[in-house]
Amino acid sequence: MTAAAKLGVTEPLDANQIGALIADPPEWLVRERASCRDVVAENARLREKRG
C-alpha cells in the first residue's frame, strides 16, 4: 500500500496535483521519500557485501 493510499488518496493524481506535491511536499511525503532512500541504500549495501 502506498503512503498516499494510507492517507486516503483513492483516485489517480493529475500532473498539476503531482507538481503541487513536488513543489510543496507534505510531511508524509518527505517521510516516505526518506524511507525509500534508506531502503535503496541498504539494498545497495547488502548487494556490495554479497559481492
Give pLDDT tens digits for 1-51: 677 787 788 889 899 999 998 999 999 889 999 999 999 999 999 999 998
Domain ranges of the chain: 16-50
Asked whether the beta carbons of 1 and 26 are under 8 A apart, the reply is no
**Against a cut of 0.85, is the pTM above it?**
no
CB burial readout 8-21, b (16+ within 10 A) else e: eeeeeeeeeeeeee
Output the pLDDT for position 9.
82
The x, y and z cell numbers of residue 3, run together, are 503512503
Kindly compute the dihedral angle of the four CA atoms of residues 7, 11, 16, 17, in this order, to the nearest 10 degrees: -10
Output the pLDDT for position 25.
93
> What are 2-16's pLDDT values in tens digits?
777 877 888 898 999
